[in-house]
Amino acid sequence: MDQADDQFSQPPHDQESVKDTPQHRDASDDDFLLQGQPEERRGSRLGDTRVRIELPQHPTFRRVKQGVLEATKETYKPRTPLEQAISVSKRVLIGVPLATMQAEHERLTKFKALAVLSSDAISSVAYATEAILINLVAAGSAHLGLTLPISLVIIGLLCIVTISYRQTIPAYPGGGGSYIVAKANLGTLPGLVAAAALMIDYVLNVAVSVAAGVLNLASLFTFLSHYIVFLDIALVLLMMILNLRGVRESGSIFALPTYFFIGSALLLIIVGLFKALVIHHQPIIGTYAYVPAIEPLSIFLILRAFATGCSAMTGVEAISNGVPAFQKPETRNASITLTWMAVILGTLFLGITLLATTYAVEANPAGNPTVIAQIAKLVFTGPLAFLFPVFQIATLGILTLSAETSYSDFPRLASLLARDQFLPSLFGFRGDRLAFSVGIVFLSAIAIMLLIIFGGSTNALINLFAVGVFMSFTLSQAGMVLHWWRLRGEHSGWQRSMVINGVGALTTAIVALVISFSKFLEGAWIVIVLIPILVMMFLAIHRHYQRVERERVADIPIHPRDIHHRFIVPIAELDRASIQSLAYARSLSPHVTAVHIAVNEDEINQMQAVWDKWQQQVPEEEDIQLLIIESPYRSLIRPMLAYMDTIRERHPGDTLTLVLPEFLVAHWWEYILHNQTAFRLKAALLFRPGIVVADVPQHLRHRPKKEHK
């Protein structure tokens, strides 16, 4: 770095005219005299009117090469006490800023990725079996044994979807989320539908899982029940901050509870099955307590049980969305992790279902105790009884952390949409820790809003769940089918891949339809309504950006020689500051008009006298014309605006620059002491195109240097 600094520590003037603009060095200096400001005032440097580039000689910059500097850490140092305070608290909460180069180091190992990206999927084993039982019991206790075959079908579906996604990952190594795959193969609209569906689900997932976690916690510690919403918000904020710390750190934090749940659930299954099948020789389908049927066992009932059970599969798409978050080789690591996730999810789901059937556990319509809690109670008896509360806490942990999958994928999806100009570009910026901060904060804000509106009880929201996931599954799989069809010449085994994805698309489409219909009145309609609204919003944003890109113009010619300047300097009185503003304008153009708005005759005469006196003192080349406008109704703004309109009307080709004083004061209250005419004028000009406003900062001399507010 020292060397680099030395390179540009020479006086820049010599350097630049020698090295910087070789292609222009032979140009006649007259060109500049014709167009630009003459250089006589520089004395001996008369001929040297080269456009210069400044290469600052300062530790804040490191010279990379010709015309390129790199900002050093010095640049980012907080300079005022306020900035320092913000910087320190940010460091404490979020951590030391990371350079863009460090992004590589922030990637996830398979171990952490499994924790972060699978928490949603794995947490669903805590309620999926119960969801099936609750539906089936409508046909009476006689058919509760159907839980097992339905679960097996779901596990089969899980296999299909997993295999499908294992094909997607290498095909889309940049992140094969439903949005990308659907957009690439089916078109923009299906892509946006998939994105909208997923985003809705992600938001719901945060609200529902945090609410569920807090409600569980409050049922353990009843004194907390007064602070439900408060705790909800605190938990969301905690997750927000942890996620703002970056992918890697949040991965470390969230790994523990995920593996803790996986371990204790496996223990439950092993102990439970061992006790039931080996020790007590129970049948796989136990004998249920009698419950009368309230409707016959219809195919619709079975489908509904199946569809609700499919909630076990929410979150399965997370890994293929998150490929870029993996350490290199990304695709390989992601594929392996996906397989592991599916194996763990399948094993746990099958295990819990087997325990439910063999112990003949029925779903409690009140939802408390849950099926999984009943199982744990039956399994962890005698000397193992201490494991029951441990397992409860593990369940609570994973349920809450399933929000983490949303935190991981939502910001990434939003950044992809921002990149493609379907969301504000803000969503694409990486924060201090390289996380997509805006997406994280936005997700938290919406979740908090939902939690406040529903008072921390999100029962109503659970029905909205899962529709979106399966819609995006379907679109993604269908996209993959077309993908393989396109590659039919180049890729051996494309038929096999296409069939797998085809089966996946078909089954997930059926599930999506079943869920939509069976839950339509209970809330799924909201999602069905929301998706097109979101898609229309995406499209409106896109159109806006497109239009801006195409049509963004200033009312200024694009060649300097075509610009005819006209400067207007409003002056309240002829003080030093006004004279400086006038000098500023006059040094740039001979077409300067000072405009004074007078509210009565006395003022006119007074200003005229002061002005004439001043003009007699200044050299010829500084003379400026004064225009006094009498404003009989005392407004200062309107006559000024009318005057500018008039000038623009008469000289439509000219570029008008209004030179305004911007008053710098040390304390906010001092603003009250200065009528903010300049500010109001600026506000009024905001919506009048074509007038350049130059703010000349006015400040008090000898003022103690005060850079903070």
- Count of positions on this chain that bind a second copy (CB under 8 A): 153
Establish if 234 lies at the interface with a second copy (CB under 8 A): no
Pair 415, 322: CB distance under 8 Å: no
Q: Which parts of 398-457 interact with a second copy (CB under 8 A)?
A: 424-426, 429-430, 432
Structure tokens at 316: 């399965």
Indicate which single residue of 41, 280, 281, 328 sits in contact with a second copy (rule: CB under 8 A).
Answer: 41
- What's the CA gap between 403 and 116, in Å, rounded? 9
Cβ closest to a second copy, residue 36 vs residue 149: 36
For the bound state, the minimum distance from the C-beta of residue 427 to a second copy, rounded and expressed in Å, comes to 10
Cβ closest to a second copy, residue 4 vs residue 218: 4
Listed ranges 67-75, 257-265, 335-343, 364-372: which one lies at the site for a second copy (CB under 8 A): 67-75
For the bound state, the minimum distance from the C-beta of residue 662 to a second copy, rounded and expressed in Å, comes to 8
Instruction: Single out the residue of 531, 376, 368 nearest to residue 459, CA to CA.
Output: 368
Indicate which single residue of 88, 536, 554, 609 sits in contact with a second copy (rule: CB under 8 A).
Answer: 554
Cβ closest to a second copy, residue 110 vs residue 430: 430
Binding track over 17-36 against a second copy, x by CB under 8 A: ---xx--x--x---xxxxxx
Tell me which DSSP letter residue 591 carries: -
Indicate which single residue of 1, 46, 64, 499 sits in contact with a second copy (rule: CB under 8 A).
Answer: 64
Handedness of CA 180, 182, 187, 189 (dihedral sign): negative
- What's the CA gap between 657 and 556, in Å, rounded? 11
Indicate which single residue of 1, 18, 46, 53 sits in contact with a second copy (rule: CB under 8 A).
Answer: 53
For the bound state, the minimum distance from the C-beta of residue 648 to a second copy, rounded and expressed in Å, comes to 10
Q: DSSP string spanning 423-442?
A: S-GGGG---TTSS-HHHHHH
Structure tokens at 517: 């219909």
Structure tokens at 670: 């001092």
Contacts of 27 (CB under 8 A, 6+ apart): none
Establish if 6 lies at the interface with a second copy (CB under 8 A): no
Question: Within 13 Å, how many C-alpha atoms sit on residue 475's CB side?
Answer: 28
- What's the CA gap between 69 and 59, in Å, rounded? 11
Listed ranges 120-128, 188-196, 527-535, 546-554: which one lies at the site for a second copy (CB under 8 A): 546-554
Distance of CA 95 to the CA centre of its chain: 19
- What's the CA gap between 271 and 129, in Å, rounded? 19
Listed ranges 275-283, 336-344, 458-466, 540-548: which one lies at the site for a second copy (CB under 8 A): 540-548
Establish if 183 lies at the interface with a second copy (CB under 8 A): no
Listed ranges 214-222, 240-248, 487-495, 698-706: which one lies at the site for a second copy (CB under 8 A): 698-706
337 to 115, 254, 342, 615: CA distances (angstroms): 10, 16, 9, 81
Q: Which parts of 567-626 interact with a second copy (CB under 8 A)?
A: 575-577, 579-581, 583-584, 586-593, 599-600, 604, 608, 618-626
3-state secondary structure of 525: helix
Cβ closest to a second copy, residue 389 vs residue 689: 689
For the bound state, the minimum distance from the C-beta of residue 615 to a second copy, rounded and expressed in Å, comes to 8
Indicate which single residue of 7, 84, 298, 635 sits in contact with a second copy (rule: CB under 8 A).
Answer: 635
Cβ closest to a second copy, residue 454 vs residue 614: 614
- What's the CA gap between 399 and 209, in Å, rounded? 6
CB atoms within 10 A of CB 109: 16
Cβ closest to a second copy, residue 194 vs residue 626: 626
Q: Which parts of 74-133 interact with a second copy (CB under 8 A)?
A: 74-76, 97-101
Distance of CA 352 to the CA centre of its chain: 37
Cβ closest to a second copy, residue 273 vs residue 426: 426
Cβ closest to a second copy, residue 16 vs residue 409: 16
Structure tokens at 649: 């009307």
Indicate which single residue of 5, 9, 12, 327 sits in contact with a second copy (rule: CB under 8 A).
Answer: 12
- What's the CA gap between 164 and 497, in Å, rounded? 8
Phi and psi angles of residue 707, each rounded to the nearest 5 degrees, phi first: -100, -15
Establish if 544 lies at the interface with a second copy (CB under 8 A): yes
For the bound state, the minimum distance from the C-beta of residue 570 to a second copy, rounded and expressed in Å, comes to 14
| Strand duo 61-65 + 68-71: pairing | antiparallel
- Start-to-end CA span in the chain (Å): 34
Cβ closest to a second copy, residue 57 vs residue 347: 57
For the bound state, the minimum distance from the C-beta of residue 105 to a second copy, rounded and expressed in Å, comes to 14
Q: Which parts of 642-681 interact with a second copy (CB under 8 A)?
A: 642-643, 645-647, 649-651, 655, 657, 661-662, 664, 670, 672-675
Establish if 564 lies at the interface with a second copy (CB under 8 A): yes
| Strand duo 61-65 + 592-598: pairing | unpaired
Establish if 37 lies at the interface with a second copy (CB under 8 A): yes
Helix H or strand E segment including 564: strand 564-570
Indicate which single residue of 4, 336, 510, 628 sits in contact with a second copy (rule: CB under 8 A).
Answer: 628
Indicate which single residue of 299, 633, 652, 704 sits in contact with a second copy (rule: CB under 8 A).
Answer: 633
Instruction: Single out the residue of 547, 588, 534 nearest to residue 423, CA to CA.
Output: 534
Cβ closest to a second copy, residue 490 vs residue 551: 551
For the bound state, the minimum distance from the C-beta of residue 75 to a second copy, rounded and expressed in Å, comes to 4
Looking at residue 475, its amino acid is: L
Establish if 707 lies at the interface with a second copy (CB under 8 A): yes
Helix H or strand E segment including 541: helix 525-551
Q: Which parts of 678-697 interact with a second copy (CB under 8 A)?
A: 685-697
Contacts of 442 (CB under 8 A, 6+ apart): 414, 427
Cβ closest to a second copy, residue 521 vs residue 686: 686
